[in-house]
Amino acid sequence: MNKLLCPCPPTITRTGTQRVRSVHNLSDWQLTTFDEAREFSTQWPQPDRADDFWLRPTTLSFLSAHPQGMTTEAVQLQHTPSGRSLRLTVQTFTFHLGTQVSDSAKGDTSRWDIRRRLLAPFSSKVLTIGQLLTSGNLAQDGTDAIPDAELARLLVATAGTLCAERSGYRAILIKDICAAGSPAARDLVRRGFTSLPVDPVMVLDTSQWKNMEDYLESLSSKYRIRYRRARSKGQGISRRRIDGSEALVRRDRLYALYRETSSGASFNLTTLTPAYFDWLIGVGEVYGYYSEDGTMVGFTSAIANGPVYQAHYLGLMEAYKYSHHLYHNMLYDLLEDALRGGYRELDYGRTALEIKSSLGAEPRYFATQLQLRSPVLNPLVPHFVPAVFAHREWVRRRPFRRE
């Protein structure tokens, strides 16, 4: 039997308010949990990676105190003999198929859709190792120093330790910790996890250009024409950064635009609150888009994450997406911001793969893997996944002259 599914409760000691214990089945690893804002502020170590935003004490402290459709905590793993350490973000959410995954996201199913009908009434409490608010392996620190076989074993044992202490978890989700197809990801499959169909993260290498003129010069004539057409369509829309003094005034409109856009998403596990936008205005870069009469018709947000400029949440009125090519212009504006800031990469996130590819972004693939805690139901996961979510085909564009 897979030991993750039925682990024995670990022995727990306390150091202050933190819980320190041995990892189940790996007694040479010690696990410490941080789950309160004040713990992150005073005891969580500064991460070692340059793109550290999602592991900073301030970020985790906010998310711990302000749940966004999930609770947030973090764990530090320490290997006693060698002193190696690993830090992971851990989140808990409740999965509701009917409200979090649109019917259009499924794959080919029967006319009666029996599998989806069977799943629809149920909700499941899910333990997530990873960060639901961003894409890519940004919610961990230290995996590079751990061999793949040991990493898979450690992730499984960590999840088992956490689930043994708490009741109600029906599933484990390991999100974006391992590269898709890596030995660690394959080992997790051998340990009973199912790889889920997820889009790649679209990343543009911006280190090769000094400014927007350099970028445009590298495009083929076809894509320079597309750029000029989009910019022409965007005339009449102004863009302005929203600063902290405007947070309370603008957040309701930002939140309404976010809800308008997120309601059309095919897959959405988080539910942001208005407080998130107050915080985001302070820690990120939020720009509003305004029509000629002063109405905010859209917004973008981005995070300066070390050498990476990360596009984050956005919202827009659907009509302006087409009449003014607003979404396309937003992507160009984010690129201009990244070039102006001298960032090495622009992380466009997931979704809208083809249009981001048309700007030159390249896909990076990470594994997201699921295991049900029930040893009876877990073998059925691969058969039910297509009734919930399936890959959509997309065309990879080659916008540069050298290609």
What pLDDT score was predicted for residue 246?
86
The CA distance from 268 to 403, in Å, is 35
CA angle 399, 402, 403 (to 5 degrees): 55
Nearest to 314 by CA among 359, 355, 284: 284
What pLDDT score was predicted for residue 267?
59
CA angle 82, 83, 85 (to 5 degrees): 120
State the pairing for strand pair 345-349/296-305.
unpaired
Q: What is the dihedral of CA 145, 149, 152, 155, to 10 degrees?
A: -50
Question: Which pTM does this prediction carry?
Answer: 0.89
The CA distance from 279 to 66, in Å, is 10
Nearest to 368 by CA among 128, 157, 102, 51: 128
3 state SS of 272: coil
pLDDT in tens, 111-146: 445 545 555 546 689 999 999 999 999 999 999 999
What pLDDT score was predicted for residue 1?
39
What pLDDT score was predicted for residue 46?
87
Nearest to 262 by CA among 71, 62, 68: 68
Average pLDDT, the chain: 88
What pLDDT score was predicted for residue 402?
74
Q: Quick one: tokens of 378?
A: 């877990």
What pLDDT score was predicted for residue 99?
53
Would you give the DSSP letter of residue 378? G
What pLDDT score was predicted for residue 248?
83
The CA distance from 103 to 114, in Å, is 13
Q: How would you class 130 by CB atoms within 10 Å of its CB: exposed for 0-12, middle for 13-18, buried for 19 or more?
A: buried
All domains in the chain, ordered by first residue: 12-198+366-388 (3.40.630), 202-364 (3.40.630.30)
Q: Which residue has the tokens 């309404």?
A: 256
Q: Quick one: tokens of 403?
A: 């290609």
Residues with Cβ within 8 Å of residue 327, at least 6 apart in sequence: 316, 321, 352, 355
Contact at 8 Å (CB) between 3 and 159? no
The CA distance from 268 to 70, in Å, is 12
Which residues in the chain come in under a pLDDT of 50? 1-17, 100, 102-103, 105-106, 110-112, 115, 121
3 state SS of 174: strand
What pLDDT score was predicted for residue 96?
74
The CA distance from 128 to 130, in Å, is 6
pLDDT in tens, 39-64: 998 999 889 899 999 999 999 999 99
Contact at 8 Å (CB) between 337 and 323? no
